[in-house]
Amino acid sequence: MDYIQPFNRILLVGCNECVTVCSAGGRKEVGLLSSALQSAFLSAGKSIDIKEHTLERQCDPEYVEELVGMMDGVDAVVSMACGCGVQEVARRYKNKPVFPAVNTKFMGASERQGVWAERCQGCGNCLLGITGGICPIARCSKQLMNGPCGGSTNGKCEISKEVDCAWQLIWDRLKMLGQEERYLDIIPAKDWRTAGGGGPRKIVREDLAG
């Protein structure tokens, strides 16, 4: 609210992709936030004009282009996409302030309805093939590469009883697959350049890129 306080006409933009399925920034959440903001500003004695729009995707310029016609009538844009969407909108519409309305935290999977947990850190050189399909980078608190630490008790991590020990999960799964010998393989120290240590990352598909 502090972000948009100085503005009178806001464009609130949702995204139909990932943020929709995790109930964070789809059409439905755009409606809810719009109504909540309207009431919050009214309560404080200010009326603002909020336009709602939800794009198919906010991380592709083709879709972000659709907002062209709406930009003249607004003072600022509030994006309910992940950080990629916010930045794409900001890149395309350089003269409009763009603010994030979703606090993007991690790449996760849904454990059950309404619960999401981190599964992937996008670190490059994927290890899942040798760790039984369970990631020690995203799911071990210490990102250990060769078995658990002394803090693993009854399958739980020492940081919290709510957190599974990734290496316990890996061992259980390797046993189930009859691949116990995999556990003996020494995984060398990870080269973190592919995980962002080498600067911002980029993928170029030569066959697709013009």
Residue 41: CB minimum distance to another protein, A: 9
CB 6 to another protein: min, Å: 19
Residue placing its CB nearer to another protein in the complex, 23 or 194: 23
What is the nearest approach in angstroms of another protein to the Cβ of residue 34? 9
10 Å CB burial of residue 170 (0-12, 13-18, 19+) is buried
Can you give the binding site for another protein, defined by CB under 8 A?
28, 31-32, 35-36, 38-40, 42-45, 47
Instruction: CB nearer to another protein: give 66 or 111.
Output: 111
- Cβ atoms within 10 Å, residue 174: 19
Provide, rounded to whole angstroms, the least separation between the CB of residue 139 and another protein. Answer: 28
**Nearer CB in complex with another protein: 29/88:** 29
Distance from C-alpha of 16 to C-alpha of 19, rounded to nearest angstrom: 7
Q: How far apart are CA 179 and CA 42, in angstroms?
A: 62
Nearer to another protein (CB atom), residue 38 or residue 87: 38
Token pair for residue 124? 């490059």
Which 8-state DSSP code applies to residue 129?
A: T
Helix (H) or strand (E) holding 61: helix 61-64
